[in-house]
Copies of this chain bind each other. A is one copy, B any other.
C-alpha cells in the first residue's frame, strides 16, 4: 500500500458533523460505519454527548487520535473544521459537504482555501462534494450511500457519486466484489492519478476501474498509468465522448473539456482499456479480476449448438482476437473423441447430445493446442447437459491448463447456480456470446499493454538555442502567427526543408533562383496573408528568366489584396517533384488536459475531406511515430501502392519525433502545422509552415 493506506485502513474514523437527525447525511454515515466497520467510530458534534449509541466529542482535538475524518458540516464551516482536524494531527480527510467549485465563484474560492490547507498540513483530502469512500477488508463504509460493497479485488473510483450507488446495488445482486471504492467529488486535492498510484501498489487490487468525466493533469496521468499497468489493468469509462456528452459533462463538473481525440490518444498511450458503457466496464473487469492473460490471440470455441457457435465466431472476428487454427494433432484427437456428426474444426460443435463430459474432452484437447491462447465455452440448454456439472468441468480444465476460459452458458434461471460456482473460481459467465468474447478480448488487450515496454523518446541533437532565437525574434515582431519566414526553426531541429531563401528584392530573387537547379517555387511571405494560394500568392515552376517579373507580380498581388499587409518578402524555393512524392501533414495543437497533441495525416484533400489522421500526446518515441503512420487508412499510399516507389517512411517517422521534441522543448508553441511535409522515395521535406506562439511564455 502507498501513502494513502491510512485513508483506506484507519483504526479510528471521526464523523465531523455527525447527527442522529432522520434523513441527514451525517446520520447515514455514522450508521454505515457503526454497522460494520472493524475499527472505532467517533462522532463529532459540539452539541451532543452521544449519537446513535456512540460517545460523541465536541471536536477532533478533544477526541482520541483520529486516523480519518469524514466531514459533513455545512460548507461555510468546512475550512474551519479541517483546520481543527489538521491541527489535531489527522492526515486523512473525506469532505462530503457540497457547495464548492461546482456552485460558482464563492464555492470556488472555498475550494482554493481547502487546497491551501491541504498543502500546508500535507493532508490527503477526498472531495469535496463526495459520496465518501469504502474499503471492504475492514468493512468500512465511510459514505452516505445506501449500499455497502461486497469484498473483492476490484478497486473503483468515480467522479459521480450516483454512479457508485447505481453500480453497487446492481453489483451486489451480481455478487461482484470490490476492494476500495472512492467517490472523487470535485478532486480538489486527491484525483484519479493519486488513486491509480495507490491501487497500483496495492497487492489486493487486481483491477482498477473508474468512471471519469475529465482528467486533471493528462501528462502526469499518462506517466502514472503506464507504471501501474505493468502490474494492474485499468479500465475506465470516460464520459463526454460525444459533443453533446462533453457539453453535459462540462455543465455537470464545471471543468473545461479537453478534446475527445486527446482523451482517446492519451488513454491509449497510458495503457488504459476504455469502456464505453457500464456494461462494458464490468464485462471487462470481471474477466480481468478473475483470469490471467492469454499467451496468444488464438481462441477456441467449444459448443453444443451450431447457431451460438457461429455467433461467437462472428464476435471473435469483431475484436483483436482470432479463431485458433488447430494443429493436426488436435484435429486427430478431436476426431477420435467426438461423435461423427460433430464439427471438429474451430468452433468445435460437440452437437446437441453433448453432456458435460464431452464438453470436457473437447476443452481438454483444445486447451492443449499450442495455437490456443484462450477459450469460450458456449452452451444452449438441453435435456442431457447439466450446467452445474459443466461448470465444474470448465473450472477443472481451466486450472489444469492454466489458460483463461470464459463461459456463455445461455439461459436464464437454469444457468444461475452454475454461474455462481464459476464466479467463485474467477470465471465470468455471460449470457451473450458477444459479451463473453469481449471479456476475453479485454484480457488479450491487457496482455498487449503489459508486454509493451515503455519507450523513452529519443533526444535528437538539435540547435535549441537557435530555435529559441528564432521564436524570440518572431515574438519581437509583436505577432504571434509565424509562417515560412521561420522555416529555419525546423532546420534548427533537423527537419529537412527545400533549398531556398526569403528575399526582399527581385535581383536577389534571381540570384537565389540561379543558384538552385531547375525551376523554382515563389511565394509571398506575409503574416497577414494566410491563404497564399487563394490570392495568387504562389507561383510554381518559375524559370529563371521569369523570376524578376514573378517577384514584382507577387508583391503587387499582395498589395492589391491588402494594401496595409506587412510583407516580409518573397520565398524562392527549390521545386519539389510531386509526381513521385506524397503530401503529408504533421502538426500539433495544445490540449487543455493533455498538452501537445501531435497529428499526422495525408495532406491536401485527404485531410480535409476524409479526416484520415492519427494523433498522439507528445513526447513520443519511434514506436508511436510509426503507429501514427500505420493508423491512417491511406498509409499504403506511402508504402508504395499501385506500383509507386515507396516514400521515405523512416524520414517521416523521424520528422514526427523531431517535431515532438520541438513542441515539448517550447511550451510557448501553441499550434504548429507543417503542411505539406512532402515524402518522396529519397527523403522528406517540409514545404510550408504555420505556427502560433504564446509570446508571453517565451
Q: Which residues of A contact B (CB under 8 A)?
A: 23, 28, 103, 146-147, 158-163, 165-167, 169-174, 211, 213, 237, 239-245, 247-249, 251-253, 276-279, 304-311, 313-318, 322-323, 341, 343, 345, 347, 349, 352, 379-384, 410-415, 431-435, 605, 608-610, 612, 633-634, 636-637, 641-642
Contact = CB atoms under 8 A, between A and B. Distances in A.
Contact of A241 (B159, B248, B314): B314
Given A610-B634, A637-B609, A642-B605, A381 B146 contact: yes
A322 B244 contact: yes
Nearest to A306: B252
> What is the oligomeric copy number?
2
Nearest to A249: B310
Contacts of A161: 307, 352
Contact of A252 (B147, B165, B276, B309): B309
Contact of A170 (B310, B379, B412): B412
B305 A160 contact: yes
A245 B343 contact: no
A598 to B, nearest CB: 23
Contact of A314 (B169, B242, B382, B384): B242
Return the 6 tightest CB-CB contacts between A and B, nearest first. A160-B307, A242-B317, A173-B412, A162-B305, A166-B410, A162-B380
B608 A642 contact: yes
A210 to B, nearest CB: 11
A572 to B, nearest CB: 26
Nearest to A352: B162
A609 B640 CA distance: 11
Nearest to A341: B103
A169 B641 contact: no
B433 A278 contact: yes
Contacts of A314: 239-242, 244-245, 276
Nearest to A611: B633
26 contacts: A23-B383, A161-B307, A162-B304, A162-B305, A162-B382, A163-B380, A165-B381, A165-B382, A165-B411, A166-B305, A166-B380, A169-B410, A170-B431, A213-B310, A239-B310, A239-B311, A242-B316, A244-B313, A244-B314, A248-B347, A277-B435, A278-B431, A605-B642, A608-B641, A609-B633, A609-B637
A243 B379 CA distance: 22
A163 B304 CA distance: 11
A256 B213 CA distance: 48
A323 B277 CA distance: 18
A308 B249 contact: no
A378 to B, nearest CB: 9
Contact of A636 (B165, B609, B634): B609
Q: Is the interface of A mostly helix, strand, loop or mixed?
A: helix
Contacts of A304: 162
B608 A633 contact: no
A315 B608 contact: no
A243 B605 CA distance: 33
A279 B381 contact: no
A349 B251 CA distance: 10
A249 B317 CA distance: 13
A146 B310 contact: no
A610 to B, nearest CB: 5
Contacts of A307: 158-163, 211, 213, 239, 252
A650 to B, nearest CB: 21
A641 B609 CA distance: 8
Given A251-B345, A307-B163, A382-B165, A434 B317 contact: no
Given A240-B310, A349-B252, A414-B169, A610 B610 contact: yes
A432 B633 contact: no
Contacts of A313: 242, 244-245, 247-248
Given A165-B382, A244-B322, A609-B633, A160 B279 contact: no
A251 B343 contact: yes
Most buried by B among A163, A314, A317: A314
Given A163-B307, A163-B308, A277-B434, 6 more contacts: A160-B308, A169-B413, A173-B413, A239-B311, A242-B316, A252-B309
A304 B311 CA distance: 37
A512 to B, nearest CB: 30
A162 B241 contact: no
Most buried by B among A249, A306, A317, A641: A306
Most buried by B among A146, A310, A609: A310
A318 B239 CA distance: 12
A638 to B, nearest CB: 10
A605 B412 CA distance: 51
A349 B102 CA distance: 14
Contact of A245 (B159, B170, B248, B310): B310
Given A166-B308, A382-B146, A383-B146, A412 B172 contact: yes
A147 B413 CA distance: 12
Contacts of A315: 277
Contacts of A323: 244
Contacts of A347: 248
A389 B345 CA distance: 54
Most buried by B among A240, A241, A307, A605: A307
Contact of A610 (B306, B322, B633): B633
A252 B160 contact: no
A317 B245 contact: yes
A171 B310 CA distance: 21
Contacts of A158: 307
A315 B612 CA distance: 24
Nearest to A305: B162
A276 B161 CA distance: 33
Nearest to A434: B277
Nearest to A28: B383
A288 B486 CA distance: 62
A639 to B, nearest CB: 10
Most buried by B among A103, A244, A343: A244
Contact of A166 (B165, B171, B381, B634): B381
A290 to B, nearest CB: 20
